[in-house]
Structure 1
C-alpha cells in the first residue's frame, strides 16, 4: 500500500509507529554490514547445501562474494578470515518469488477531455505492460531490512498498477552502494483488476479483463507476424509501433512468463483457462483454495507461488460449547475451511507440484510461525525449505547462481542458532550478495514458567519510544474474554493534540511471541499497523511495521499494580 502524507500527519504517524513494537525473533537492527571482499570461512557448522542435503561439521569458503568451496576437510588459505560455526546452521539464502516491498505506485493519469469509457486509453484502463518495476523501486526502503532479517536475500519485485502493471525484475538485498540488480524484465505481470475502471469503464469486470487480455494477446501475435514479414519481404506496409503489443513479444517467444496474481480458486481457474487457450508460460502468484485449484494448475502446467499469510484463526479455534445450532454449524464450516488452508501446501507436495513462497500480502513477523503451522499440518520441512530456496530459483530461472550452496554460486546464506523451522531458531547472520549482516540474538524465555503456567499478558502496559519525529508514549490494555484476547492501544492523535485509541486485532500469543494489528485513521486514510515481538509477564521488546515506513523499536512494561505477585 502506498500512502502520501502531509508533513504534520506523517510526523504524528511516525511517532505512532514507535508507540508499540514487538519483533517476532527479538532481533535488533543490524550492527552493521560488511562486504566479504577477501577470503572468508565459516568452519565446523551444520550446512544444509540444499533441501534434504546436510553436511555436519562442514566449512563454507567464500571469496569475493562467491562460494569458493563447501564441504569437509577443506584446506583454508592463509589469508582466510575464519569464523567458528560451532552450533550454527547454515542454509541457502531465501528467495522471494514475488514481492512488492520497496515498490511505489505510479501516479494515476488524468482523464482526457474526449474520454470514451468504452475504449479508454491504455493507462487509464490499467494496461501498462511496458513499465519496469525497477523504475519504481527504492532499494533503501526500510521494509527490505525486515525481510532480510528473516532470511531473504533475493526477491523478484513486481510493479503496482492495474490489469497489466508492467514487468518484474530480480534484485538482491545486498549493500547500499551496489545496484543490487540481478535481472531485468523477468515476467509480464497480470491481475484481475484495473486501476480506475470499475463500473462505467472497460474492462471493469473480471470477464472484461479476460476478454481484453485475449484481444491484446491475439493482436500482439498479429503485430509480431507483421514485423517479421516486413523485415524479410519487400512491398509490405510499414507496421505501426505499439508499445503495449510489443511488450508481449518476449511472452510470444516463450522467453518470458505471464505472472498472474490470483486471490481465489476462481481467479486461478480463469488464468489457467487463458493459458490453455493462448499457450503462454504461466506463473500463478498467491494461489489459495488449493483443494479446488489443483486440476487447473496441472492442466495449465503452471508454476505456483503461494503466500504464507494465514487468515485470522480466532473463529477457527473457538469453543463450540454453549453456541446455538446455527452458530455451531457456522463455526464448524469456518474451522473446516481454515483447516483446508493449513493443509493446502501439503496437498501440493503430495500432488508432486513444486511451489515457492511469495511475501505478497504477508508480514515478515508472521512468516516462520505460519510456515510451522503448515508443517504441523502435513508439509515436510524439506518442501518448506525448497519453497524458500531452490523452487523459487527454478521458477525465476536463476538456479545456476542461486538456490543452493555450491561452488561458484552467489554467497547468499542464512545462519541460524538452531534448525530453521524450530521455535528456538534465531537468525544470527544473513549474507546477501557477499554482504554480511549481523543480528543480535537474545536468549528466548520459555513459553511456560517454572510453575507450568502460560505467560499472562493481561493487564495495562505503559510504553515509550523515541523516533526521528520525537518521543511518544501511551498505554495498552489487554483482557481475556473466553479463549480470546482483546485489547485497546492509545497513541498520539495524528489529527492534533491528545490521545486516540484503537482496538487491537488478531492478538496471538504463541509461546513468548505476541503479535497483533491495529488501525489508525489519519488524513482521511486508514492505516494498518503490524506489531510483533517477544513478551514476558513484565515487558515487551520488538518492532512495529507501518506501511512503507518500515519497522521501529519500542520498550513496554506492565504497570506494577497489574503484575502477578
Structure 2
C-alpha cells in the first residue's frame, strides 16, 4: 500500500507540474473501472485531455501507444469510480448550523422562486474537504424554507469561487408541497397522525400562484422578479423539484404537473413513491429518495422499509437517486456513499448502488451528457479507491480528480488525525 501511494504521489507531482501547459494528456491504466451505468471494465484504460475524458477502453484489447500520453499512472489492483453527487443539499450554503451567521440557505417570504443559491455558495467551506475524501465531488446547492424556497444550482466541489464551481446554474425551482397529515413525530403535540385540515386551502394557493406565473410567462408587457424566475420552468429549461412524501400528495402532484404542463417535475423525498410507481412511470417523474438511515414514517410500516425503498423503486422501474436531506445533513454529506451501501445490502447490486449516487443523479438533474459516469466526452471527475467506497470499513480513497484537475485529499479532520497521531507516537 505504501508503494502505491509513493507511485501515485510521484505521478501526481509530475502531472501538476505540467498543468500550466494546456491540453496535456494522461492515462489511468489497468484499474477496475466502475463506469457508473452498470458496466465494469477490468483492467480499464481512461484517457484524459484537459478537463475531458477522451478514451475509455479495456487494456486487454486496446492497442496502446505509450508515446501518445504525457503521463501514465498504473492503477492495477485499484478501483476507479465516477464522482458521486450530493443532490438537494445545503453543502456550501451553511457551515455551522448552530451559528445563524453561517446559514445562508433560507430567505424571508413564502414564494421565492427568484432567490438563487448560486451566489451564496461558499467554495471555501471547511465541510467540503471532508466530503471530497469520500468521493462526493458534485453538489446541488439547494435553498430551503417557505412554499417555494428558490432556485438551486449544480456545483463542483473543487473551485476557487462560485463562478468557478458552477456546472449548471439555476437548474430548477424547489416547491415544498403541503403535508396531507400532521402529527405523529417525536416532537409533535399529537402522538398519532391525523389529516391536515389546511391541505386543500394550501393546495389552492399554490395552484393560483402557478396559474398566475403561467399567464405571466405568455406576456412580455410586465416585470415581476418572482414570475420572471418561473418563465423558464414552463419552457422546460428548468426543473420543478417538488418536496413531498405521502401517497395522496404524490397523486395530487401528478395531476398538478399534468394540468399545468410542467415538463420536468422531480419528486424529492417520495417515501410512498413505491405505492404509486405506475403513475410516476406513466409521466416519467423521477424521485430523489432520502437515504435509508432513518426510522419508518408510519407506525404500521415494516421496520426495514426505509432501507428497502431504493430496491422497491428499482424493481418498479422508477428512475431514482439517493440524497440525504434531514437533520445535520451538511456534515453528513460524506455518508452518502454509505447510504448507497445500505441500499446494496437491502437489494441493489453494487453497480446499481453506484448508479444511484452517480449517473442516475446526473440524469435527474439533466446533466448526464456532462457528468455522472466515466465515458468519453464527459468531464474528467472521478476518484481511485483501494476497497469499496460504499463500505466505511474498507473505503480508502487514494486520489481524486474534478474536471481534469487533481484535488487535495486533506481536510481539517485528516490534519487533526495526523497531528494527534504524531503526538502520541512521540510520547511512546
**TM-score normalised by length of structure 1:** 0.58
Shift of 1:92: 1.4
User: For the structure 1 residues 206 and 299, does the alpha-carbon distance in structure 2 shift closer, same or farther, using more than 3 Å as the test?
Assistant: farther
Partner of 2:93: 103
In the alignment, which of 349, 356, 359 is matched to residue 324 of structure 2? 359
Which structure has the bigger radius of gyration? 1
Q: Distance in 2 between matches of 1:358 and 1:99?
A: 8
- The number of residue pairs the alignment matches comes to 367
Please, which of 11, 24, 29 is the counterpart of residue 43 of structure 1? 29
How far has the Cα of 1:284 moved from its partner?
A: 0.8
CA shift at 1:293, angstroms? 4.3
Partners of 2:137 and 2:407 lie apart in 1 by 11
Cα pair 1:191 1:260 within 8 Å, conserved = yes
Confirm or deny: 8 A CA contact 1:130 1:166 kept in the other structure: yes
Partner of 2:380: 411
8 Å CA contact retained: 1:173, 1:433: no
1:50 deviates by 3.3
Query: How far apart, CA to CA, are the structure 2 residues paired with 1:78 and 1:301?
Result: 44
Give unpaired runs (5+ residues) of structure 1: 1-30, 110-122, 195-203, 228-238, 314-329, 441-466, 468-541, 544-550, 557-565
Q: How does 1:44-443 map to 2 (within 5 A)?
A: 44-71=30-57, 72=59, 73=62, 74-77=64-67, 80-104=70-94, 124=109, 126-176=110-160, 179-192=164-177, 205-227=198-220, 239-280=221-262, 281-311=264-294, 337-361=302-326, 362=329, 363-421=332-390, 423-437=393-407, 439=409
TM-score normalised to structure 2 length = 0.76
Deviation at 1:77, TM superposition (A): 3.3
Counterpart secondary structure, 2:317: coil
1:87-109 C-alpha deviation (Å, 9 max, x unpaired)? 11011111233221112555988
- C-alpha deviation, 1:153, in angstroms: 1.7
Q: Note closer, same or farther for the CA distance 1:207–1:555 as it changes in structure 2 (3 Å cut).
A: farther
Provide structure 2 residue ranges, at least 5 long, that are not aligned to the other structure.
1-8, 95-102, 180-196, 422-428
Q: Distance in 2 between matches of 1:276 and 1:415?
A: 43
CA distance in 2, matches of 1:420, 1:42: 19
Tell me the C-alpha RMSD between the 2 structures.
Answer: 3.3
**3-state SS of the aligned residue for 1:169?**
strand
**Which range is displaced more, 165-174 or 57-66?**
57-66
Note the C-alpha offset of 1:312.
5.2
Which structure features the higher share of strand residues? 1
- Contact 1:268 1:296 survives alignment (8 Å): no
Q: How much does 1:348 deviate?
A: 0.7
How far did residue 372 of structure 1 move?
2.5
Greater helix fraction, Structure 1 or Structure 2: 2
